[in-house]
Structure 1
Amino acid sequence: MAALYNAGEVAEMISDAGVTVHDLGMSSNTELSALWRLRSLMRARRFDAVHTHLYRSCVYGRLAARLAGVPVIVGTEHSIGETHLERRRMSTGVRLLYLATDRCAQTTIAVSETVAQRLRQWGVPGGKTRVIPNGIDFDRVAFDQQARSHTREELGLSEHHRVVGVLGRLDPNKRFDLLIEAAAPLLDESTRLLLVGDGPERQRLEGIAREHGVADRVVFAGQRSDVAAVLSAFDLFVACSKQETFGLSVLEALANGLIALYTTCPALEGVDTDRAVEVPGEQEGMRAALRKELDAARPRAQVPRLRELYGMEAVTERIDALYERLLANRGEPLGQGDAETAQAARTAGGPVTGQGVHG
């Protein structure tokens, strides 16, 4: 794997699993020397496939792979919203650069049909897109009673508290201000709101909690990587984003056994479960839903269908099938519907060696 900059915790986890991580140490978006370093790395390792994730790695990685002569080049798009791409405003320049380097790839994977539709509207040819969702390691986010008790104690919460929790970057799109305002009248001696994450909105959100007189009942836990532990500390999960491309945190909460209230979650389209409740993106409607679930106090339970759809093994099999089919055709673009099943996958002999590029 190659990380263009800020390799971080994910790269450390991958390295611990025995996979070599190359950190290119980019310091700016226009560091063109990184393109040649990537090309040299790909040529030296003679990869069969290069798979890029996120905007910067798609721009640099797809072009470097083409220059290195890699036969299979695939990109995955996670974060194309209605107005922003990974917190970048969708300017003409951003769009044209993305589309220009997309011509180097045979396929672009969209993590949801919502993302696929936005890619097509943006100008990516429909025949190039494949919908393959993010995979979830269900064991990694499973409920843990011991971790629940430890995390609550660490954050000043007791087992007697009812905890409404959110997990994510504190930025305007997440609309945590809406949640604080909706939840404020419901927060009492036995009910707390726990926000896990950090970001530019934190100071403003702390001010909103003070304005509503609930500063002592809203806990800001900051950035944490122990996802299973903090989800286990919750009793009810809420996601109130203005827009989402997938909704990973909602699925992780459900995998932990929680009830999840959400305003938008493309990953749940077509999934029939009463464990996930779509709620209005305004105060009164959200407050009513919060009150109803807090009063009901439903116990933890699983949604088996989610594992079938989003289990890591099922998702990686689909991606492997795509690699194999593309390699069998020596990188030629696939026809609509090809490589969607494992039956069409195993047509090339030997294992596929690949390089992931993350920006």
Structure 2
Amino acid sequence: MPLFLHPKRRPNLCPRPHLPQKTASCRKSGIIFGNCNKSPRGRAMPPRIAHVITTFYPTNTSAWVSALADDQKARGWEVELIVGRNASPELLEQKRRQGFFISRINSLRKYVHPAQDAATLWNLFRRFRNHDYDLVHTHLAKAGVLGRLAARAAGVPNIVHSVYGATFAPTQPWCRRLLFKNLEKLAGRCTDRFIFVGQDLCHAYRQAGICSNGKAEVIYYGKDISPFLKVGVLSPEDRRLRKQAAGFAPEALILGNVSRLVPWKGLHHALQVVRALKDKFPQLRLIVVGDAKTPSEGAYKATLLDLVQSLGLTKKVIFTGWQPDPAPYYAIFDLYLLTSQPFEGVPGSVIEAVVAGLPLVGFDCFGLREIPGISARLARPGDLSGLIALVEEELSCLIGGRPLRPMAEADIARLKERFSLSRMVQQTFELYRTLLEGRKAPLTLEGTR
């Protein structure tokens, strides 16, 4: 059996260079880490956890990983963040000041690059082999595949992977879809537990044969909806005033989209929608709140800007760039336009739009039906003509004076419960505890909080 598929193989471990050493003799006796000579025999030691993430910017995924790491550190656990080349220096410095150990692997990049990927696999393997991790938790696709293969090869006893969106989808070219699905199957054999952010996503992975029911757990991510609840209770007059304050005419019809500028968000479809409807609705505008984060994403942004020029939409489309607080934009949107491809987990911007009381039109994708209180008109993924027809109908209804409807209190309560950050953190802790309590050596799981 290949080394990277060998179940639970545990090689000889070397001392950790930048932390107090946790030697093999300490492990065997259960002496607490960092005080091998003074601690009494048999004392339990805290778990050592590594989170591996491809990109580390101020995004939702990075915030969720940080929340998990913060909770684990508060319990007295040893937590290390292993990040790729594309990471925010400010965010890394913030985590260092909070006492986290940060490792950066420059060869770990978001998109496929065989030479860099091979280097990343080797670097991760050496790191996992030379450090005595009790659990490795990988996040995002590239770190997920390479991190799990390297962790299993190095003998890490517990490997968890969080899935925020499918790496394969019907809208992809068949060769790429087949490659990614087979890579996921290979990495799935090295995974002890999968965490899915939605039921649809979990079902897709089970159907594809990537994970079994016994390995899968759905844990919805945490989200603070309070800024969007304030938007949801605004009166029509308040919305018109905010629209005017932003420089738009009261009769302007504004389509909104909040997302990173990446191909699977489908923003090129949004531009085609505006091109098709701009003559019938002269006051139609599109506002895209978000930006590209990596150089590869910058290439897609350039493509979008070129498309705006070629379609004659320079006065119709606005790219705001990244905004730390997107809530005020929902107050001036008339309609939320979802153009994401079907392998989303649960689209966070859709939750924001629903809470803000906006009607939603878009392509059908994973996770939409898992959002309490959602009411949407959906076209088949990639069906641009169907999407244009739905947007046209919805805009006609808005012109006819149909009022926006605030979210029902019962739906707000259900949504808050399902997408609670504290619930996400606690459920992840319970999953970790199930895995870590299977070890022979004693571990301190509760710690002090």
- TM normalised by structure 1 equals 0.74
Q: Equivalent of 2:288, from 189, 195, 203? A: 195
Q: For the residues of structure 2 that align with 1:30 and 1:87, how far apart are their CA atoms?
A: 23
Q: For 1:125, what is the secondary structure of its paired residue? A: coil
* Contact persistence 2:161–2:191 (CA under 8 A): yes
The residue type equivalent to 1:21 in the other structure is: I
Q: Is residue 82 of structure 1 aligned with residue 169 of structure 2?
A: yes
Asked if the contact 2:287–2:320 (Cα under 8 Å) also holds between the matched residues in 1, the reply is yes
Q: Report how far residue 202 of structure 1 moved.
A: 0.8
Summarize deviations over 1:159-197 as a string: whole Å, max 9, x none.
Answer: 7755321122263762213431454246445x5321234
Partner of 1:138: 225
Gap regions ≥5 residues in structure 2: 1-80, 292-299
- Can you list the C-alpha shifts for 1:145-170, whole angstroms capped at 9, x where unaligned? 9xx99x97997547775532112226
Report the count of equivalent residues.
328
Q: 1:15 to 1:183 in 2, by over 3 A?
A: farther
Pick from 304, 312, 322: which aligns with 2:431? Answer: 322
Task: State the Cα distance separating 1:239 from its structure 2 match.
Answer: 0.7
Whether the 8 Å CA contact 1:209–1:218 is kept in 2: the answer is no
State the structure with bigger RCO (CA 8 A, min sep 6), 1 or 2.
1
Report the equivalent of 2:87. 7
Contact 1:29/1:56 (8 A) holds in 2: no
Report matched runs for 1:244-283 at 5 Å.
244-246=343-345, 247-269=347-369, 271=371, 273=373, 276-280=375-379, 281=383, 282=386, 283=388
User: Equivalent residue of 1:279, what SS?
Assistant: strand
Any idea what SS the aligned residue of 1:75 has?
strand
Does residue 206 (structure 1) correspond to residue 313 (structure 2)? The answer is: no
Does the CA-based 8 Å contact 2:198-2:370 persist in structure 1? Answer: no
Partner of 2:318 in structure 1? 219
Q: Over aligned residues, Cα RMSD in angstroms?
A: 3.9
Distance 2:169 2:152 in 1: 29
Is the aligned partner of 1:164 residue 2:245? no
Q: Give a deviation string over 1:287-321, Cα, whole Å, max 9, x none.
A: 10233245324165474122111222222222222
Tell me which amino acid in the other structure corresponds to 2:286. L
**TM norm structure 2:** 0.61
Say whether the 8 Å CA contact 1:182–1:286 is kept in structure 2: no
Instruction: Please give the secondary structure, in 1, of the residue aligned with 2:274.
Output: helix
| Alpha-carbon distance between aligned partners in 2 of 1:249 and 1:268, rounded to the nearest angstrom | 11
Q: Is the 8 A contact 2:169 2:342 kept in 1?
A: yes
Maintained 8 Å contact 2:271/2:308: no
Matches within 5 A, 1:1-359: 1-8=81-88, 11-12=91-92, 15=95, 18=98, 19-26=100-107, 28-31=113-116, 32-42=118-128, 46-80=132-166, 81-83=168-170, 89-92=176-179, 94-127=180-213, 128-139=215-226, 143=230, 156-157=247-248, 161-168=252-259, 169=261, 171=263, 174=266, 175-181=269-275, 183-185=277-279, 187-189=281-283, 191-198=284-291, 199-200=300-301, 201-203=303-305, 205-207=307-309, 209-210=311-312, 215-246=314-345, 247-269=347-369, 271=371, 273=373, 276-280=375-379, 281=383, 282=386, 283-293=388-398, 295-298=401-404, 301=407, 303-304=411-412, 305-330=414-439, 349-351=444-446
* Cα distance between partner residues in 2 of 1:41 and 1:230: 44
Counterparts of 1:88 and 1:307 in 2: how far apart (Å)?
40
CA distance in 2, matches of 1:41, 1:141: 42
Q: Deviations over 1:188-212 (max 9, x none)?
A: 45x53212345354135414652xx
Mind listing any 5+ residue stretches in structure 1 that lack a counterpart? 332-347, 353-359
